[in-house]
Structure 1
């Protein structure tokens, strides 16, 4: 067993890039869910349009976070050996694909796509992000991925 912590591949000055980027898609996707709930409750099309923009921005930032995360995953056998790393990867790919579908549904008429399908997809993604985050922190706190050696 190695005494060294699993190293991340994508980093700046020794700091892993992936955890720097992931707050953005999380905030955008959860914000889209909140906007969907606001549209559902008020009928104000502003919230439906805002949710579509938030999903689009979330997908862009998720792509950037995924590049860094995939570099870490593929660049380290020790990371690939962790079960939470696989669950985190599959969960995040699933969330991104669901949000891509969610955005495609909204392209013609964002308001018409919110209830029930858009709202349902946003809820599922928000719940999935909780699980994915848990798995990500499992890698850090238990697997010590990206934690500096002493």
Structure 2
């Protein structure tokens, strides 16, 4: 039987795994810059966090659209519990970060300590779980893994 296919792909390569490193990096770095702000009170770090959250949310939205296309594009993916845990956890994570970004945008640096830094930490924990679930779909269920044998090039 063939592996579950990624519906959103370019030249046979799934798009979703190409996009997810961007929001992950942005959200982890937002947490790091929150810690730097907490330790230094330098507003550069507060500004960096705000930008990282905004860029991360935009990239997360793109990854989510492609992920939903993949989820509903193959019935075998929809039938995986890990797919729903991955998707649901990421929806919760994005909602937390949306609130985190908005509170910083409207309240400034006062939204970072302690609430913003705690929310950023919670998001990093959620990313660990949802990332684990995403990789389980690839490694255990072979979602988006090519069926054909690679051609050796000389």
- Which residue is equivalent to 1:149? 147
Q: Quick one: distance in 2 between partners of 1:132 and 1:101?
A: 19
Cα pair 1:49 1:110 within 8 Å, conserved: no
- Which residue is equivalent to 1:53? 51
Q: Give unpaired runs (5+ residues) of structure 2.
A: 149-154
Q: State the 1:108 CA deviation.
A: 2.5
After TM superposition, the structure 1 = structure 2 runs for residues 85-96 of structure 1, keeping only pairs within 5 Å, are 85-96=83-94
- Which residue is equivalent to 1:81? 79
SS for the counterpart of 1:108 is: helix
Q: Quick one: distance in 1 between partners of 2:120 and 2:47?
A: 14
Q: Quick one: distance in 2 between partners of 1:48 and 1:110?
A: 8
Q: Quick one: distance in 2 between partners of 1:67 and 1:36?
A: 28
Q: State the 1:109 CA deviation.
A: 3.6
Cα pair 1:59 1:100 within 8 Å, conserved: yes
Q: Quick one: distance in 1 between partners of 2:112 and 2:22?
A: 22
Structure 1 segments of 4+ aligned residues over 2 angstroms from their partners: none
Number of aligned residues: 148
SS for the counterpart of 1:147 is: coil
Q: Quick one: distance in 2 between partners of 1:62 and 1:128?
A: 14
- Superposed CA deviations along residues 91-137 of structure 1, whole A, max 9, x for unmatched, are 10011000000011101243111000000000000110010100000
Q: Quick one: distance in 2 between partners of 1:123 and 1:95?
A: 11
With the length of structure 1 as denominator, give the TM-score of the two structures.
0.97
